Amino acid sequence: MFVSRLFQWYRRDFGGRRGVADFLIHYLPEDERTEWLTERARPRFRYLPYHWSLNNVT
């Protein structure tokens, strides 16, 4: 599953990989992604590059 790199940087704040999965389960629609996260003991994530331009306020 592809997620923001913020989840990698702050993984410990979420309680580790399982904590990130639990957080995402709460906000994902009921579909295969939620089922996939729920069933896996150690879900694997692929991290997308963070777009620093989102921080620019003009």
Residue 29 in domain: yes
Averaged pLDDT, 35-58? 83
| Residue-level pLDDT at 30 | 83
| Residue-level pLDDT at 58 | 64
Residue 7 in domain: yes
| Residue-level pLDDT at 36 | 80
| Residue-level pLDDT at 9 | 96
For residue 25, the enclosing domain spans 2-49
Distances (CA, A) of 58 to 43, 45, 50, 51: 38, 33, 19, 16
Positive or negative: CA dihedral 6, 10, 16, 22: negative
* Residue 51 structure tokens: 């777009």
- For the stretch 12-45, pLDDT in tens is 999 998 899 889 888 888 887 778 888 877 888 9
Residue 24 in domain: yes
Number of domains in the chain: 1
Residue 56 in domain: no
Residue 54 in domain: no
The SS3 call for residue 31 is: coil
8 A C-beta contact, residue 7 and residue 48: no
Place of tokens 């704040």: 13
| Residue 4 reports pLDDT greater than 90 | yes
